[in-house]
Amino acid sequence: MSLWSVTLATLKKDIRLEWRSKDALNSMLFFSLLVVVIFMFSFDPLAEESRHIVGGLVWVGFLFAAVMALNQTWARELRNQVLDAYRVSPAPATALFLAKALGNFIFVSVLEALMTPLFVIFYNLRVLGPAWQLIPVAVLGTWALVVNGTFFAAISLRTRSREIMLPLLLFPISIPAVVSMVAATTSILTGEDSAHFYIVLLLTYDVVFTTACLALFEKILHAE
């Protein structure tokens, strides 16, 4: 039973379950739309400075959507003692973690793909810098949020006030990633600065924390 086969199997199971129920998916989509609309009413799109703040608004919107998605990550596993079944199975814990993280990544990316055109429309966005750079920023940034989010969601399982615990733990640790994502996006949108440094910093962040999560997840999984 290799790491990848277990990861893929778990991932396929999660996606299939999510696709069949579509409950979470639909409410997430609507929530994402609401966030964009609220921002549109709160921060005037026609203002001169809007191009400078849109990077921040977009990522704050994605952050809220990601937290809502992550909160549900492990909820399904708690029902019917599925999580306990994982713990006693010979499957490596890292495979479970990777499957969850990848599943969340796909889920959050879908939300982002749907929110982005709304932002473009409401804020009349035009990219003045190298637009292709937005792809590594989006991929690396989303993975940064999702990898730590999946890990902290697992920790939050064993706390009271589970739903509030996740953002409490996730936000402080994510600050360098958020600073980088927002600054990189703003640089690319305004074309004023190079996003190169921030992309490298995001990559470093992702490597460091993916390693840390994989190294420590087994202990977290087996905590009572």
Partner 1 sequence: MKRLFPILSAITAALLAYALYQALVVAPTDAQQGDVYRIIYYHVPSAWTAFLLFFINFIASIQYLASGKDSSRRAAKWIVIAVGVLGVVVTFLPQVKAQLVSTGMRPSAMATTVLCIPAFYFLVGWLFPGDRLDVLALTTAEVGVVFCTIVLVTGPIWAKPVWGIWWAPGDIRLTSTLVLWLIYVSYLILRRFSNSAQTQMLAAALAVFGALDVPLVYFSIWFFRTQHPQPVIGGGGSMDPRMLHTLLISWMAFLCFAFLVCWSRFRLELLHREVEAVHAMKSLVGKDRVPVGTSLPLSRRPQ
Angle (deg, nearest 10), helices 23-42 and 50-71: 150
Answer yes or no whether residue 171 interacts with partner 1 by CB under 8 A.
Answer: yes
Q: Is 148 in the site for partner 1 (CB under 8 A)?
A: yes
Residue whose C-alpha is closest to residue 6's, from 88, 89, 69, 82:
89
Q: What phi and psi, each to the nearest 5 degrees, are found at residue 157?
A: -55, -30
- The reply on whether position 220 binds partner 1 by CB under 8 A is yes
Binding range to partner 1, per CB under 8 A, among 16-24, 39-47, 63-71, 179-187: 179-187
Cα separation of 134 and 185, whole Å?
Answer: 7
* Beta-carbon contacts of residue 128 (< 8 Å; ≥ 6 apart): 51, 189, 190, 191
Residue among 45, 136, 176, 191 that touches partner 1 (CB under 8 A) = 176
86 binds partner 1 per the rule CB under 8 A: no
For residue 141, which of 181, 186, 182 has the smallest C-alpha distance?
Answer: 181
**Is 49 an interacting residue with respect to partner 1 (CB under 8 A)?**
no
Q: Which SS3 state, helix, strand or coil, does residue 38 take?
A: helix
Q: How far is the CB of 100 from partner 1 (least distance, A)?
A: 17
For partner 1, the closer of residues 34 and 212 by Cβ is 212
Residue in 8, 110, 203, 216 binding partner 1, rule: CB under 8 A: 216
Whichever of 97 and 122 has its CB closer to partner 1, that residue is 97
User: Which one among 102, 111, 183, 199 touches partner 1, defined by CB under 8 A?
Assistant: 183
Q: Is 84 exposed, middle or buried (0-12, 13-18, 19+ CB in 10 A)?
A: exposed
Alpha carbons 147 and 150: distance in angstroms, whole number = 5
**Residue 7 or 148: which CB sits closer to partner 1?**
148
The reply to whether 160 sits near partner 1 by the rule CB under 8 A is yes
- Residues of this chain that bind partner 1 (CB under 8 A): 148, 155, 158-161, 165, 168-169, 171-173, 175-177, 179-180, 183, 193, 197-198, 201, 204-205, 208-209, 212, 216, 219-220, 222-224
